[in-house]
Structure 1
Amino acid sequence: MADIDQKTHAIYDTRLEGLRGLCALIVMLAHFLLFNFFHSFKIPGFSFFAHLEFAHEAVLIFFVISGYVMGINHLNEKYNFANVVSYLKKRALRLYPIYLIALLISFTFDTNNGFSVTQLIGHLFFTQEFLVKTISSNTVLWSLSYEVVYYILFLGLWKSGKNVPKVCLVLSIAILIFISIGPELTIVKSVLIGWLFWMMGLFSSQQEKKTVAAIRGKWGSLFSYFSIILSIHFLGTGQLLIQALHFHGNYVFNVQIGDLLYLLPCFIIIVTITGRSVKYLHVAKIISFAIPAFHIFLLVYFRHHLLSNIDWVYATLYFVLAVVCLPFNFATSFFEKLNNVGRISYALYTFHFPVFYFLNIFLQKYLSGFWLLFTGLFCWAVITIFLSVGTERVLQPRIKKYFFAKA
């Protein structure tokens, strides 16, 4: 249920927060498995768990959520100097305290690259990926530089007032045209692709809300669209699109041309969870299913053996699961149960990787096998939860209270 925080007047949706929590958990799972922390490659059933992750797509969903939250919390406010200053102040206080602590941890214990003043300054001003390389001890920080750009770009959208949905659509078309010009993926194009996801969230926030009964009821085939994302992910359909369009340099930046294939499934997930009514949503659903279906058809048509590639096997199973689950309804309780995880998701996101990184280096000197895995995960959970709860539930409220006491 969406409710109002009486202290900040911000609209709070437990289901949306639960989605944020799920995405944070997915990112942590992926990093634990795919970076071989505590020798995760040796875990029995590693392949199965590895094929449950969609970390990159979870970050794209974060972008959509961010755009949606900015829309419901600020577009109903008048665009003026006082409100803009208040908005920038809130964004800075939300990001910077936890971010600074994460930077302190990351740079203090980075044993591979050592301390670099230039890199530190670049991170302090959120220019990682733009001017400096993201520090290897905390690779997730790349997304925060993109996020800051979107917060700034939002000011122009906010000024357009009631025309925000139309402006978002026009800008989206313009961005798609711009991206298609030339075969190279530049940092500007990468940021703009991510902004499409962010604007989709903003656009969703301005759509009509369904009835209370509909919101409290079932979500229909929401589970199917998570399966579609997994199917596209493991089919590698994004790379197929890149090859078809003859793009180059796609591996240089974190947000890629192929990510456009996730735009509609992410949009469907967000409007379904938030109970927004969107015209022609059924068209978006059909296209979402058509993307992996067409890729599987191509594999079969050109006589590729699906069983010869484990990723294709899982991708096909996820597509079948999406089709099978389409007629069924799924209650909202699952996401609501993850609400508390969502409340600390930003801290979990920024702290989990450096804790993994440093514990892995330290514990491997003394432990191996089961005890390395058990001790590593236990210590990681204790430290990460302590940092996340301490910063999100203790430090952040006090900082917020201090700076907004007069307001």
Structure 2
Amino acid sequence: MQVEKTQTQPIYNISSIRDFRWSIHLDLLRGLASLLVFLGHMRLLLFIEYLEISNPSFLIKRLNSLTVLGHQSVMIFFVLSGFFISSSVIRRIQQKQWSWVNYLVDRLTRLYIVLIPALLLSSFWDSLGIKIFGTGQDSFYGEKFHNGHLATYKILENFTFQNALGTIAFVQTIFVDLFGSNKAVWSLAYEFWYYILFPSIILFFCVKSLKARVFYAFLASGILLMVGSEIRIYFLVWLMGALVSICHPSKYLKNKNILNSLIILSILILCIALISERFISNPKIADFLIGIYTAGMIYLLVNSRSQITREGAYEKFSKGLAGCSYTLYLVHMPILCFIRACVIGDRPWEPDILHLLLALIIVAFVFLYAVVIAHFTEAKTDKFRKLIMSWIKNRRLNQA
């Protein structure tokens, strides 16, 4: 496949970003976003609705503000994904090193090495919960305790082999429902099709062959038609991250004092936007604002080119949290649902000191559970990817 050389600069070298301090900041952002999704689901499952609390204290108000940011955090994921994936895609095309095989191996190993174990664990926890607690009207796995946005589906109805296969094929929310209690997998369908859609659009403009251009036009059009309006709309949020990867730095950003001031300001604006997002009547407008603010903050951070001279506590914490973020995102929901069925009776908890302490213990337990799983899955991504690429290379040599 012939690819025309593009002139888009700068494209960040993903293989070397670990040398720069801004990569650590983005690691922290990714890890915290995953944690906020987890905490949001924990609050919805364990505690009564905030509006049911009479005279909430200052602490309860702050905790509520912190634990209602799950959906907003997914917007941060989309922008980060758009930045990293687009940088990799455009660089490979510019260097005439593009290969769909290599690209898909990169993406699918990253996705499947956690997704497959997560689906197996979902099956285990849901099966155990259904066996112990049943599916009657009084059971959590039946009809009684679904509240808030978690009321949009029932675990038993979605606990099907068809939904599991659909999730593996990344067509959940498109052709099949979410699998069992694992509501968090919805965003993977969005991500996967963005992974295919973006290079298809870029290659349409870069390849010389008319046949190839027609192929990529049909591929991109087919995906856009298939995925539905929701995924099409949020592709624009994902593209905000892609825009950052090709934006030239402003001459004003060469002044470190101005740059640092803007970075601090952008972080404050993003925090304010996250907290105030739920007060905006149109949720999609709010999501786009989160995407814009996140992209702006990333743009400022990546233009801070200071290198890492030593790895301190902050660097280790950021890398560690980011290193289990994808696993935490995919495995927390089923075990949280099982814990919810085990420890809570007819009514969710009131947010008093005792129950907040119990919730803290549950948070620590589930987080450690995710860390252990990440050690055997997410941490092995590069090793697994090299193994797959080696197998493909050997197979090609044998066929030659």
Q: In which range does the TM-score fall when normalised by the shorter chain?
A: 0.5 to 0.7
Structure 1 partner of 2:231 = 191
Alignment map for 1:185-264 (pairs within 5 Å): 188-209=228-249, 214=256, 217=260, 219-238=263-282, 256=284, 258-264=286-292
Conserved 8 A contact 2:184-2:333: yes
Structure 2 partner of 1:105 = 121
Structure 2 partner of 1:387 = 373
> What is the alpha-carbon distance in structure 2 between the residues aligned to residue 336 and residue 207 of structure 1?
29
What secondary structure does 1:109 align onto? helix
1:87 corresponds, among 103, 112, 135, to 103
Structure 1 partner of 2:398 = none
Change (3 A) 1:335 1:270: farther
Deviation at 1:93, TM superposition (A): 0.5
> What is the alpha-carbon distance in structure 1 between the residues aligned to residue 343 and residue 337 of structure 2?
10
Deviations 1:350-386 (A, max 9, x none): 1122222222223448xx9658535533432321221
> What is the alpha-carbon distance in structure 2 between the residues aligned to residue 120 and residue 126 of structure 1?
10
Structure 1 partner of 2:214 = none
> What is the alpha-carbon distance in structure 1 between the residues aligned to residue 326 and residue 320 of structure 2?
12
Structure 1 partner of 2:42 = 32
- Does residue 140 (structure 1) correspond to residue 198 (structure 2)? The answer is no
Conserved 8 A contact 1:344-1:392: yes
What is the TM-score of this pair, normalised by structure 2?
Answer: 0.66
Deviations 1:43-67 (A, max 9, x none): 9733321112422111011111111
Corresponding letter in the other structure for 2:103: Y
Structure 2 partner of 1:23 = 33
Alignment map for 1:6-405 (pairs within 5 Å): 9=15, 11-12=17-18, 13-36=23-46, 45-52=59-66, 53-78=68-93, 83-110=99-126, 111=130, 112=141, 113-114=155-156, 115-159=159-203, 188-209=228-249, 214=256, 217=260, 219-238=263-282, 256=284, 258-275=286-303, 337-364=317-344, 370=355, 372-373=358-359, 375-393=361-379, 395-405=380-390
Deviation at 1:191, TM superposition (A): 0.9
> What is the alpha-carbon distance in structure 2 between the residues aligned to residue 150 and residue 354 of structure 1?
26
Structure 2 partner of 1:171 = none
Change (3 A) 1:375 1:29: closer
> What is the alpha-carbon distance in structure 2 between the residues aligned to residue 160 and residue 343 of structure 1?
34
Conserved 8 A contact 2:13-2:87: no
Conserved 8 A contact 1:359-1:380: no
> What is the alpha-carbon distance in structure 2 between the residues aligned to residue 192 and residue 21 of structure 1?
26
Corresponding letter in the other structure for 2:29: L
Aligned CA RMSD, in angstroms, stands at: 3.8
> What is the alpha-carbon distance in structure 2 between the residues aligned to residue 213 and residue 335 of structure 1?
25
Structure 1 partner of 2:5 = none
Q: Identify the structure with bigger relative contact order (alpha carbons < 8 Å, sequence gap 6+).
A: 2
Conserved 8 A contact 2:92-2:98: no
Deviation at 1:342, TM superposition (A): 1.3
> What is the alpha-carbon distance in structure 2 between the residues aligned to residue 37 and residue 391 of structure 1?
31
Conserved 8 A contact 2:328-2:367: no
Q: Note the residue ranges of structure 1 that are not aligned, 5 or more in a row.
A: 164-185, 240-255, 278-332
> What is the alpha-carbon distance in structure 2 between the residues aligned to residue 104 and residue 39 of structure 1?
31
Deviations 1:291-339 (A, max 9, x none): xxxxxxxxxxxxxxxxxxxxxxxxxxxxxxxxxxxxxxxxxx9788523
Deviations 1:90-109 (A, max 9, x none): 10000012001111111232
Structure 1 partner of 2:7 = none
> What is the alpha-carbon distance in structure 2 between the residues aligned to residue 214 and residue 276 of structure 1?
8
Deviation at 1:27, TM superposition (A): 1.3
Conserved 8 A contact 2:83-2:245: yes
What is the TM-score of this pair, normalised by structure 1?
Answer: 0.65
Bigger drift between 260-269 and 191-200 goes to: 260-269
Change (3 A) 1:214 1:153: farther
Change (3 A) 1:78 1:260: closer
Deviation at 1:137, TM superposition (A): 1.4
Count of residue pairs brought into register by the alignment: 309
> What is the alpha-carbon distance in structure 2 between the residues aligned to residue 196 and residue 140 of structure 1?
21
Change (3 A) 1:161 1:77: farther
Conserved 8 A contact 1:23-1:59: yes
Structure 2 partner of 1:311 = none
What secondary structure does 1:262 align onto? helix
Change (3 A) 1:193 1:10: farther
> What is the alpha-carbon distance in structure 1 between the residues aligned to residue 189 and residue 302 of structure 2?
26
